[in-house]
Amino acid sequence: MKTQWEILVVDDEEVMRESLAAWLREDGYGVDSAASGGVALEKAREKDYAIYFVDLKMPGGMDGIETMMEIRKIHPDASVIIITAYATVDTAITAMKEGAHEYIVKPCNPKEISMLVERIIKVKNLQRENTILRQKLAKQYSFHDIISKNCRMQEIFELVREISGLKSTVLIQGESGTGKELIARAIHFSGDRAPKPFVGVSCAALAETLLESELFGHERGAFTGAVSQKKGKFEMADGGTIFLDEVGDISPKLQLDLLRVLQERSFYRVGGSEEISVDVRVIAATHRDLSEAVQAGTFRDDLFYRLNVINIQIPPLRERREDVPLLVRSFIERLSHELGKEIEDITESGLKMLIDYNWPGNVRELENAVERAIVTCKASVLSDEDFSFLEHNGIRRPAWNVPDNLPLQSVEKQVIEATIKRTGGNIKEAALVLGIDRSTLYEKIKRYEIQR
């Protein structure tokens, strides 16, 4: 089992290099050696060693500390052991400050070095195990390319499974970048319609006349430029699903046309007289609050009720921050492969920064941020520095402002109310977010007379 781990011994002295390498090989490790800091860096670029033994004093070029700093630029989590024959407090402090795992004076007791190597390898094994478990967990929380362990998202996945076999119209609401199309695809591909087409249309991207032609098709000569007959998206989706993205943006005339299709399951091509019947499941999505639009009179209430047979509300990323680590690691795995870069993970501080960020553009913004960081990253692990561009956007989560002259009970009541509202009345999730058990939460709800 030990041979899976490799060690690099860096020392200008041949006997030292050879003997330590031989000693470690007898212990079952794969060992390479380098006669200078420069050679060590070349080897570190080719391979990520579990442990680097680096001699402090090497004549010419880089010394041990410089070599270690350069290695850590390539592998920020590298375990570097600085070895020296002439220990001073200053060099020891510098070595440890610059991130040395250990600073040892040679010759040392064989037991000491054996235990040190064993200890580091044990941690590496745990880290590797942790990565494997994390990947397994990510798979467990993955549903048709949507990754989440959030309770509300898990409920959505369950709902998607339940409705996938039905023909009912679905309205998906959520901010931009929350993955509305992914949910629509999941509904389509989980059900009987999966072998048939899934056709997406962005209603916000096209002018009214173009959108009409796009949705219903047109006959030859129906308008200038209509040189031939063209099938619309509804016809293309026959037997399958049509996904109408940003349905809240369509004009009153198209709202009426759409209502007719939903009622009668048939329509006319633009400029046509033949009624065309289709078997299409309609899934609509919008980032707008359609009930507000109905009240404001900009969206037909009858169409709203037709669309809103099954309603799915996708929470924004800032309300499911627990998903950020899962999503980030999933993006790193996929994007580093696509971009041809060998990025393995993200540092804890980097992850914390992403968890704290407000993500107005939701999962799409997070994906773009990870892609940008991977492109510019010089090491094998992303760090907070790689995400410094987020700071410039200046929209990190605002700091908690302590309210003035407010009794503690009132603060508690407000926090509980806000959390219950945010979790859509889900007490189990609210208790989880608040870090208390459900019975305590029920007791507080009763005590503060909180409406659910």
Question: Applying CB under 8 A, which of residues 4, 28, 341, 376 lies at the interface with other proteins?
Answer: 28
d(CA 362, CA 273): 44
The correct pick among 88, 114, 298, 349 for binding other proteins (CB under 8 A) is 114
Type and span of the H or E element at 286: strand 281-286
Q: State how far the Cα of 348 lies from the Cα of 414, in Å rounded to an integer.
A: 31
Site for other proteins in 47-66 (CB under 8 A): 53
124 binds other proteins (CB under 8 A): no
CB of 113 to other proteins, least distance (A): 6
- The first and second tokens of residue 97, run together, are 């400050």
Q: At what angle do helices 324-338 and 110-140 cross, to 10 degrees?
A: 100
When asked if residue 22 is in the footprint of other proteins (CB under 8 A), the reply is yes
Nearer to other proteins, 117 or 262 (CB): 117
4 binds other proteins (CB under 8 A): no
CA distance 419 to 388: 30
Provide the 10 A C-beta neighbour count for residue 10. Answer: 28
Q: Is 27 in the site for other proteins (CB under 8 A)?
A: yes
The CA distance from 119 to 278, in Å, is: 67
Instruction: State which of residues 45, 47, 96, 108 lies at the interface with other proteins (CB under 8 A).
Output: 108
Which residue, 111 or 446, has its beta carbon nearer to other proteins? 111
Distance between CA atoms of residues 280 and 260, nearest Å: 13
Nearer to other proteins, 112 or 192 (CB): 112
Nearest approach, Cβ of 122 to other proteins (angstroms)?
13
CB 211 within 8 Å of CB 250: yes
Is the distance from CB of 159 to CB of 312 less than 8 angstroms?
A: yes
Binding flag, residue 23, other proteins (CB under 8 A): yes
Of 23-31, 123-131, 314-322, 392-400, the window that binds other proteins (rule: CB under 8 A) is: 23-31
Three-class DSSP category at 81: strand
Alpha helices, DSSP H, located in 141-204: 151-163, 180-190
| Residue 391 engages other proteins in binding (rule: CB under 8 A) | no
d(CA 362, CA 287): 12
Please report whether residue 448 would count as binding other proteins according to CB under 8 A.
no
Query: Shortest Cβ distance from residue 367 to other proteins (Å)?
Result: 44
Please name which of 19, 23, 18, 21 lies closest in space to residue 7, comparing C-alpha atoms: 21
Q: Are strands 217-218 and 230-231 parallel, antiparallel or unpaired?
A: antiparallel
Q: How far is the CB of 116 from other proteins (least distance, A)?
A: 11
Q: Which of 113, 199, 351, 366 binds other proteins (CB under 8 A)?
A: 113
Residue of 97, 111, 378, 446 that binds other proteins (CB under 8 A): 111
For the four alpha carbons of 76, 79, 83 and 88, in that order, the dihedral sign comes to positive
Closest CA to 194 of 204, 184, 203: 184
Residue 184 CB, shortest distance to other proteins, in Å, is 54
Pair of tokens at residue 93: 């402090």
Toward other proteins, which CB reaches closer, 20 or 215?
A: 20
Q: Taking contact as CB under 8 A, which single stretch among the options 101-109, 133-141, 252-260, 262-270 is the one that binds other proteins?
A: 101-109
Cβ proximity to other proteins: between 27 and 333 the closer is 27
Residues that bind other proteins (CB under 8 A): 2-3, 13, 15-16, 18-20, 22-23, 25-28, 53, 83, 106-111, 113-114
